[in-house]
Structure 1
């Protein structure tokens, strides 16, 4: 029975070492961070653009009403 425990412990240690060496998860996290930064930048840019477009259409609408 102690041989089985030793084998299980060694297998667990091997799995932990493999997990630490694995880089796929790190790469996925890096891509997620880059994608979120791009989305944040796009949302910020669109917000400012949307405000300016809204003001422009309001000004055009006001001129059409008064003409």
Structure 2
């Protein structure tokens, strides 16, 4: 039973997939945040141009 437990690598695979998913989520959050800041700046400049 101990040998079977030591040879079982399904938990390691699950951990690897969860780490990959976590890094992908962080990349998506960073991309959305940067895009949101750019969009806000664009809208503010458009508002300034329209109110002149």
The interval holding the TM-score normalised by the smaller chain is 0.7 to 0.9
Structure 2 residue runs without a partner (length 5+): none
RMSD over aligned Cα atoms: 1.1
Structure with bigger gyration radius: 1
Structure 1 residue runs without a partner (length 5+): 1-13
Q: Output the TM-score relative to the length of structure 1.
A: 0.68
**Residue 44 (structure 1) shift:** 1.0
Q: Following superposition of structure 1 onto structure 2, how do residues 1-67 of structure 1 map, counting pairs within 5 Å? A: 14=1, 16-66=2-52
